[in-house]
Amino acid sequence: MEKVGVYCRLSDEDRYKKNKTDDSESIANQKSMLLKYALDQGWEVVDIYSDDDYSGAGVERPEFNRLINDCENGRINIVLCKTQSRFSRDMEVIEKYLHNKFVDWGVRFVSIIDNADTDNEANKKSRQINGLVNEWYLEDLSNNVKKSLKNKRDDGLFMGSFAPYGYMKNPNDKHKLIIDENVAPIVREIFEKYKSGLGYYKISTSLNERKILCPALYKKSIGSKFVCCNFNYDITGKWTSDTIARILKNATYIGTLTQGKRTNISYKNHKSKKVSESEWSITENAHEPIIDNETWYIVQRRLKNHHRPTKESGNVHPLSNKVYCTECRRIFMRNQCSVKCAGGTIKTRAYLQCKGNKKYHTCINNKSIRYDIVENYVLDAINELLKNCNERLLKEEFNKTLERRNRQNTVITNLNKEKANLEKKLNESKIYFKNLYIDRLKGIISDSDFAVLRNEYTKDVESYQSTLLNIEKKLEKNQSKKEKLKDIESILKKYKCIKTLTRIIVDEFIKKIYVGVVDKNTNTRDIKIEFNLDL
């Protein structure tokens, strides 16, 4: 008597299950049909294998793997399914088992509805076509799901599993975020402290000392199902520099949803890959912001050129990474030393010196300069700039910036239209090739004709993909240019007369400061400032 293994599978959980552990009605129907068929054939049913709520893509199914193991060990010699797609929708899996492994193991595959039977050599092509159609079904389903998710993201709906720290999902609409007032003040504090010059470590240390729960532990404390991989209190249970950096870079806090940054490689390969920035779903004003725009832009400007805080204060000094050597173009390093002043008092004083001379001994700019001298020079220069800036200049700069921004928007719009057109052509070519392949399997066209048409299809697709890649590169470049355009009017109008330099002020006004070699005759040196005239 033949020894049969009955295999059932359903990918979507049945809505009418009383308990998750119960078999769905559809699984029960599959079992009933298959057991009756086996009885009619006079076969002995050795075991029933049931994968409920598992996709037909791949082989990550517990009962499927148990079935395969029993086939290999000779426990069963017939695998019985309702349809071939219940066994698998993956063409590679069909080929691997139905036409290779099962043949070696002496196992027969039978499906009732679509009449697949590996003992019948005549329907092998039919099985392969079914396998191909099932594979395309999976691919199309995956694409449809991705498109549906992207449409929802583009509509400004939050599609994440867990709300970012500082927010919670709206109880009346899980796709909308509302502010979590319990921890929103912590988010504001992080931004304000970084804006004022504190570094990641200093901020995280302050939060840890006050025993403020880090995001992972806070979510756990409010009953969230959020799970942090390899959870360890000593590491994950504390605020870290990385956590602070992630919060500071998250545009969610100004009401902007940025989603779709990563995606699965394919419906078969669930490893994630980065998505081109031009394809991200970005929705402004999607929810109430925690951080104001001005604070956000100041912080982002600092983040682009993150600086190491000084050891003595934990703050970043105002001119950090701004002072360079006129001769070798290397940065000036800041050092502190004790000096003896009049009356014998000892004071600690900061100096700046060319890295090319101090560290590499390759630059002739060998004299250090007092930090406070450079700082006062910069302060005077900025105040002079503010004094000379009149309304006419501000208006001219504002109009230039606006014109550049509009030009950039037009370029980006045209590139996106071209990209959409190419993606449509690629999709049409794919459908054409699918139909072509089916015609070949059915014998409608010959192998030689298929080879010619396939070559033409390949050339077209390669051309489309190459053009698409170039468009994406142009989009990234132009998007970057657009983001760099800033409004000079609002920055200059904000200040009247500056009394003390801060990191925020320096970042807004100064691009670089160049310090020259000391003139031996006059004992003076040139200091030149490169302003952010393209703010």
- Quote the CA–CA distance of 364 and 192 in Å, as a whole number: 41
Whether the per-residue pLDDT at 207 is higher than 80: the answer is: yes
Lowest mean pLDDT of 177-191, 198-212, 430-444, name the range: 430-444
pLDDT classification of 458: cutoffs 50, 70, 90: confident
Q: Are 26 and 86 in contact (CB under 8 A)?
A: no
Confidence of residue 5 (pLDDT cuts 50, 70, 90): very high
For residue 426, pLDDT beyond 90? no
Q: What is the mean pLDDT of residues 175-203?
A: 90
Which of the pair, 30 or 455, is modelled with greater confidence? 30
Residues 6+ apart with CB under 8 A from 24: 10, 13, 14, 16, 17, 52
Q: What is the pLDDT of residues 482-504, one digit of tens each?
A: 555 545 555 666 677 788 888 77
Q: Where are the domains of the chain?
A: 3-154, 167-304, 317-535
Looking at residues 526-533, what average pLDDT do you find?
A: 85
pLDDT of residue 282: 84
pLDDT in tens, 92-123: 888 889 888 999 999 999 998 888 888 887 66
pTM listed for this prediction: 0.48
Predicted pLDDT of residue 273? 79
State the pLDDT at residue 77: 93
Cα gap 437→433, rounded to integer Å: 6
pLDDT > 70: percent of the chain: 79
DSSP state of 67: H
Least confident of 56-70, 259-273, 332-346: 259-273
Sign of the C-alpha dihedral computed for residues 376, 381, 387 and 393 taken in this order: negative
Tell me the CATH class for 167-304: alpha beta
The predicted-structure confidence for 512-528, as pLDDT tens digits, reads as follows 999 999 998 998 999 99
Q: Which of 384, 367, 388 is nearest to 376 (CA)?
A: 384
228 pLDDT more than 80: no
The pLDDT, as a whole number, for residue 423 is 79
Structure tokens at 211: 């025993």
- Alpha-carbon distance of 53 to 19, in angstroms, equals 13
For tokens 């014109």, name the residue. 403
Q: Which of 76, 102, 93 is nearest to 130 (CA)?
A: 93
* Residue 36, phi then psi, degrees to nearest 5: -65, -40
CATH number of 3-154: 3.40.50.1390
pLDDT score at 2: 87
